Structure 1
Amino acid sequence: MTDKPILDENSVPSCLENIRRDELEVTFLGTGSSQPSKYRNVTAIYFNLFSNGSLLLDCGEGTLAQLKRRYGMEGAESAVRNLACIWISHIHADHHVGLVRVLTLRRDLLKGVSHDPLIVLGPSQLKRFLDAYQRLEDLDMQFLDNKATTLFSWETFELDNESNKNNELVIERDEDVKNGNLTSCRESCSQGSSKRLKISVTVAKIETFALLNRLKKVLNEAGIERLISFPVVHCPESFGVVLKAADRINSIGKAIPGWKVVYSGDTRPCSEMIEASQGATILIHEATFEDGMAGEAIAKNHSTTKEAIEVGNLAAAYRVILTHFSQRYPKIPVLDEISMHKTCIAFDLMTINLADLHVLPKLIPYLKLLFRTEMLIDNSDDHVEEAGL
């Protein structure tokens, strides 16, 4: 945590200098919690990287339908076809139930076309769900545990890739894992008992290391320098994620640092969240409850609006976008305009271009005016707000 903000609230970060409109668009496909409602679907965030492809962060029920509503049938198919990967924050159903529909559509769209399985990142519990489903039909995907993409895991991966010492087994081609060509490696390297022990441990890591190599390549092709998962405070194996774009060169040859987007998943405010969000261009943070419901937020391991904004302030994020609202707030959550000077609230199907970040906070007064007769709390959905969701 820093004592002084990295970025003055009125200054524009250097990563936005001469930013083009084809760098990044973020579309909120679902901004509600627990289960779909009339006005807010459950969580999914689509990252349009234009010619570099796309990403999905979380994939709640109805995500594919929301893509079709936002982009039309052909646009949704193009978005799914060009996915680089899908990242899932935790095992709660409102964050992953739409995953199978997206995966099967991609499989069908690419049938007969040379392609690799889509990498799906998530908690280990999600793998059990996907493995069970794949007994029914092939999902054309490869699973990578979020724990393998923490900062520590990435550093370990890089060290192991560089060292290659003591004749430990290294898989240089993804095809070796994909095609199951590991037997000969085991046989050729299993000389002596200590060697066998070393190789058995190494072989257990082969698939993860091969997937990390492929993920790194896929991300680089999408213009993403880093994807780092970090633990947050919600249910077991809950994660947030940092996406850092590669640096770019402007028209006069000047190096411009890449943007940084951080997504909280579901969480209580925590030191890991603040540290990961330092200097973020965009912090997307859950704000399930209004400020007067802090006790319920604590009980269910969620955040209030004020807490989410405070995380952004402590991390000196340039813009904070609030999402994952309780369905008791049908159209607009309860807001304190005074603390919203660099904050915006997300709506379903809202698209934000990186080039428009400077205007976001100016929308709040107009949103309050637009929904002035509807800023009432709807308690009819309280029964669906299950503990922990």
Structure 2
Amino acid sequence: MQITFLGTSSGVPTRSRNVSSVAIRLPQRAEVWLFDCGEGTQHQLLRSDVKISQIRRIFITHLHGDHIFGLMGLLASYGLAGNPTAIDIYGPPGLSEYIRASERYSYTHLSYPLKVHTVQPGLVYEDEEFLVSCVPLKHRVTAFGYRIVEKDRPGRFNVEQAAALGIPNGPLYGKLKRGEEVTLSDGRQIRGSDLCAPPEIGRKVVYCTDTVYCDAAVELSQDADVLIHEATFSHQDADMAFDRLHSTSTMAAQVALGAGVKQLIMTHFSPRYAPGNALVLDDLLQEARAIFPNTALAYDFLIHEVPRRRGE
């Protein structure tokens, strides 16, 4: 699982940062899931190693322009990329109407199936490997945070050890792989757990933007391997954060600490902290690290690999 940051500015793009978009690559299935799609996202994709043709799902947090103005351009270009497949889009109420109106007034005809899902708090999507859930955050419009969970995988079955024990290949192997206990014809009882490596614990990634600090974000982020959380403002500008219902660096760190996450990556920075100003992004980083040391600042085209974990 690989995270690529395509846009890390808030509100407007800057010379070095585009507006919000994050891609999660799932190499085991050659898919890309996109979270938010601010203006210029398709240009950012062209400058990255992420393939537009692999996008299968797009999750939108809310309908502010810096999170959706790039969506129709991307969808139109996707249809011209050669052999386009279906795309599913998930987001708040009003998203479907926005997309259909954009199609109608721009005379855009999409050459592939597009399905828009209006999300509600709870489970958004599930298949045999992943599930995605969401909770409402606290912003000026309806906004959701998303939690992506990779399901646990059983550990590798030791075929060589099974053969050495004289266990015949066939249905018994299937039971042992599932961790069951079997009885052999000679009366020996074999536990599947003795022949399997520890299970691979599924990875968990949480994406929270836009929001002021709220308990829902802490609940959503519990035990995440990576929490991507907005940090629009410095702690010194907390009044603006509360007024505009955005987070400070310290709010993001408090969510990470309260949820027991392993890594916090802050994003969605106000352009007011550009180099040369009284406060810069390194100040936000130090504020957050004072609360949650394992904090990093996102930047456009940052690639973060989410490592696998082994069970006990």
Same structural fold, with TM-score higher than 0.5 when normalized by the shorter chain = yes
| Paired residues of 1:39 and 1:330 also in contact (CA < 8 A) | no
Identify which of 31, 35, 39 aligns with 1:61: 39
Contact 1:322/1:344, CA 8 A, preserved across alignment: yes
CA distance in 2, matches of 1:105, 1:289: 34
Deviation per residue, 1:181-203 (Å, 9 max, x gap): xxxxxxxxxxxxxxxxxxxxxxx
**Identity value in percent:** 31
Maintained 8 Å contact 2:203/2:308: no
Residues 231 and 248 in structure 2, CA contact (< 8 A), matched pair in contact too: yes
Matched, 1:246 2:246: no
2:73 is aligned to 101
> Could you tell me which residue of structure 2 aligns to residue 180 of structure 1?
none
**CA–CA distance in structure 1, aligned partners of residues 98 and 231 of structure 2:** 28
Q: Which residue of 2 aligns with 1:352?
A: 304
Residue equivalent to 2:109: 138
- 1:1-389 aligned at under 5 Å gives the runs 24-52=1-29, 53-71=31-49, 76=50, 79-111=51-83, 115=85, 117-135=86-104, 136-139=107-110, 140=112, 141-147=114-120, 150-151=121-122, 154=123, 216-217=126-127, 220=128, 223-224=129-130, 226-251=131-156, 252-330=196-274, 333=281, 334-335=283-284, 336=286, 337-355=289-307
Q: What is the SS of the residue equivalent to 1:109?
A: coil
Aligned twin of 2:173: none
In structure 2, C-alpha distance between the alignment counterparts of 1:64 and 1:269, rounded to whole Å:
30
The answer to which structure has the higher helix fraction is 1
CA separation in 1, counterparts of 2:231 and 2:46? 26
**Which stretch shows the higher mean deviation, 127-136 or 249-258?**
249-258
Alignment-mate amino acid for residue 236 of structure 1: V
Deviation at 1:330, TM superposition (A): 2.2
How far apart are residue 108 of structure 1 and its match? 1.7
Aligned partner letter, 1:307:
M
Q: Give the Å deviation of 1:235.
A: 2.4
Give the corresponding residue for 1:160: none
The DSSP-based 3-state class of the residue aligned with 2:98 is helix
Deviations 1:202-247 (A, max 9, x none): xxxxxxxxxx7xx544xx4xx32x1111100002321100100121
SS in 1 for 2:290: helix
Match of 1:355, SS state, is coil
Give 1:356 deviation, angstroms.
Answer: 10
**Alignment deviations for residues 20-61 of structure 1 (CA, whole Å, 9 cap, x no partner):** xxxx11011000000111111100001011131110000101
Measured in 2, the distance between the counterparts of 1:338 and 1:276 equals 23
**Alpha-carbon distance, 1:301 to partner:** 0.3
- Alpha-carbon distance in structure 2 between the residues aligned to 1:293 and 1:325: 12
Kindly tell me: are residues 38 and 60 of structure 1, through their superposed partners in 2, closer, same or farther at Cα, counting changes over 3 Å?
A: same
- Contact in 2 for aligned 1:40/1:330 (Cα 8 Å): no
CA RMSD of aligned residues (A): 2.0
Contact 1:123 1:238 in 2 (8 A): yes
Deviation at 1:340, TM superposition (A): 4.5
Q: State the alpha-carbon separation in 2 of the partners of residues 349 and 131 from structure 1.
A: 30
Match of 1:175 in 2: none
- Structure 1 segments unaligned to the other structure (5+ residues): 1-23, 155-211, 358-389
Q: Partners in 2 of 1:349 and 1:96 — Cα distance? A: 19
Q: Distance in 1 between matches of 2:142 and 2:290?
A: 35
* TM-score normalised by L of structure 1: 0.63
Amino acid at match of 2:10: S
Larger RCO (alpha carbons 8 Å, 6+ apart): 1
Q: Which amino acid aligns with 1:227?
A: V
Distance in 1, matches of 2:109 and 2:213, equals 38
> Normalising by structure 2, what TM-score?
0.77
Q: Partner residue of 1:169? A: none
Question: How far did residue 321 of structure 1 move?
Answer: 0.6
Point out 4+ residue stretches in structure 1 off by more than 4 angstroms. none
Shift of 1:338: 3.0
Q: Tell whether the 8 Å contact from 1:89 to 1:265 is kept in structure 2 after alignment.
A: yes
Q: 1:300 to 1:272 in 2, by over 3 A?
A: same
Distance in structure 2 (CA, Å) of the matches to 1:235 and 1:125: 15
Structure 1 residue 80, shift from structure 2 partner = 1.7
Using the TM superposition, give the Cα deviation of residue 269 of structure 1 relative to its aligned residue in structure 2, in angstroms: 0.8
How many residues align? The count is: 257
Shift of 1:250: 3.9
Matched letter for residue 26 of structure 1: I
Q: Is the 8 A contact 2:265 2:297 kept in 1?
A: yes
Uncovered stretches (5+) of structure 2, i.e. residues with no partner: 157-195
Cα distance, 1:106 vs. partner?
1.9
